[in-house]
Amino acid sequence: MSYAPLLVVIGVLAVGAGVTLTVLFRADRAGLFRRLSAGATVLFDDAEPMGRPQDQLFAPDDVRPGRQPSAQPPPTS
């Protein structure tokens, strides 16, 4: 039984982990992880405030414009 395939897989994993850690540490030193939450709030403004869903897809049936509330509850399975 040869361990060569196992050693190749372990070697590839070790090189991948090394490259990943190198990229993460360099990005941290360059300051790319500072103020991550600032970019998350760019999408929101006064017309669509943060924390209030504006998508009609996720609104309850009785709130959607042009739809009548259903008299029967949806079937459960």
Report whether pLDDT(10) > 70: yes
Band (61; pLDDT cuts 50, 70, 90): low
Check residue 35 and give its pLDDT: 82
Check residue 64 and give its pLDDT: 54
d(CA 7, CA 3) in angstroms, rounded, equals 6
Per the CB < 8 A criterion, the answer to whether 50 and 41 are in contact is yes
- Average confidence (pLDDT) over 13-39: 92
Token couple for 7: 């050693």
Band (54; pLDDT cuts 50, 70, 90): low
pTM above 0.75, yes or no: no
